[in-house]
Amino acid sequence: MVDSKEKAINPQIPTLQEEGVAQRLFSRIKGLLPFHLWIMLPTIIVLAAITIYPFVWMVVMSFKETAMNPGESDVWVGLYNYTRLLDDEPFINGVKLLLWYFLLCLSIEMLLGTSVALLINNIKFENFFIIIFIMPMMVAPIIVGYLFRFLYNVSFGWGFWLLKSLGLMSGETILANAKPWLFSFFPSTAFMAVVAADVWEWTPLIFLIVLAGLKAVPQDQLEAARVDGAGPVRTFLEVTLPNIKSVLLIALVVRLMDNVRYIDLIYVLTKGGPADTTKILPFYLYNVSFRYFEFGRGAAIGFILLLFTIFMGLFFVNVVFKKKGV
């Protein structure tokens, strides 16, 4: 508020009447949105710009055939990008391999990570072992890829030499389109080699998450189980496991979502070969979009992968939070 005396001294300051207009305009704008939306607006705008807009654009793009040449415009193809996937051999192969990848990586990593966490928990020099075990996780996936390429190398690879001397390898190279020893049911040796690298790098993450979970298991429940007469196996199954269940599921979801977008290791190690035997869906998606530049088809595959991730995420979150008695 400015009184007339001050106005006389400084004519730039608006008078009461003039100010009224500005204020009314301001309150009109303010009334457009509830207060909490106003303070969230900057975040919403940024989020919209970096995720929502591209997401919507991706969905739109999946209904089009994108034109790369100047002067040409996109062609609306409807659901063609989706329907053609049904008899797209590499796509189906990619889905199959991705499921294999989930199954093998997640089961081995969960089992191994949990076992190691159980072994390490509360032993002497625990911290030392933790540092040793989480080292692989700190190596960049690209580097892991190169490391394993050296290990698998036919002329000087230590891993290849080991498998060959043990009589486990009959092929010329580990990264071959051969069925692994014993089980012809599994994908190729090359695929198993990629899984091995993944397991080496990511088991530590599971180990770390599970170890944190184990630390949070109430000591008194474990003691009660001891007094009640439960042996170590019973105690684990009936007391420890239910207590770390949510942690295990979180570890699983984290790895699952990682695997959906996992291409760097494969890119370095096999580039999807030999003969597409390691071309899991994310890698195929990469090829379609950024090597064949079929953005429309790529968007369709990406959207399917996204839906799959969301579905799996929701499923696990439901399992985690639908705990009884809580």
Partner 1 sequence: MAKVTLNHVWKRYGKIEAVIDLSAECKDREFFCLLGPSGCGKSSTLRMIAGLEEISEGEILIGDTVVNKVEPKDRDIAMVFESYALYPHKTVYANMAFPLRVGKRSYTNSEIKDRVHKAAKILEISEFLDRYPKQLSGGQRQRVAIGRAIVREPLVFLMDEPISHLDAKLRTHMRGELKHLQKVLNHTMIYVTHDQLEAMSMADRIAIMNLGILQQLGTPDEIFNQPVNQFVAGFVGDPPMNFIDCTLEASGDNWQLTNDSFKISMSPELIAKFKGKNGDLSSGPMEVVLGVRPENFIITNEKGNEESFPGEVYVTEPLGEDMIVDVTIPKNKLKLKTSVDLDIRMGDKVWLEAMKNKIHLFNRKTQQAYF
Query: Which residues of this protein are in contact with partner 1, per CB under 8 A?
Result: 218, 220-221, 223-231, 234, 238-239, 242-243, 245, 323-326
Q: For partner 1, give the closer residue by CB, 126 or 223.
A: 223
Is-contact 13 7, C-beta < 8 A? yes
**Is the CB of 96 or the CB of 323 nearer to partner 1?**
323
Of 221 and 309, CB closest to partner 1: 221
187 closest CA partner among 258, 270, 114, 131: 270
Smallest gap, in angstroms, from Cβ of residue 229 to partner 1?
A: 4
Whether residue 274 is preceded by a cis peptide bond, meaning omega within 30 degrees of 0, is yes
Minimum CB–partner distance for residue 216 and partner 1 (Å)? 12
Q: How far is the CB of 224 from partner 1 (least distance, A)?
A: 4
Q: Which is nearer to partner 1, 236 or 308 (CB)?
A: 236
Q: What is the DSSP string of 81-104?
A: HHHGGGG-HHHHHHHHHHHHHHHH
Q: How far apart are CA 117 and CA 75, in angstroms?
A: 54
Q: How many CB atoms are located within 10 Å of the residue 114 CB?
A: 24
CB of 230 to partner 1, least distance (A): 4
Residue number with CB closer to partner 1 (28 or 324): 324
Smallest CA-to-CA distance from 191 within 85, 255, 314, 105 is with 105
Min dist CB 124 to partner 1, Å, is 15
Extract the tokens encoding 90.
């590499």
Which residues are paired to 76 by β-bridges? 64
CB of 320 to partner 1, least distance (A): 13
Q: What angle do CA 138, 120, 249 make, to 5 degrees?
A: 70
Query: How far are the Cα atoms of 106, 142, 148, 181, 300 from residue 145, in angstroms, in the given order?
Result: 19, 5, 5, 23, 28
Angle at 163 between CA 159 and CA 169, to 5 degrees: 125
Residue 71 or 229 having the CB closest to partner 1: 229
Minimum CB distance to partner 1 smaller for 89 or for 220: 220
In the complex, what is the shortest distance from the CB of residue 236 to partner 1, in angstroms, rounded to a whole number?
A: 12
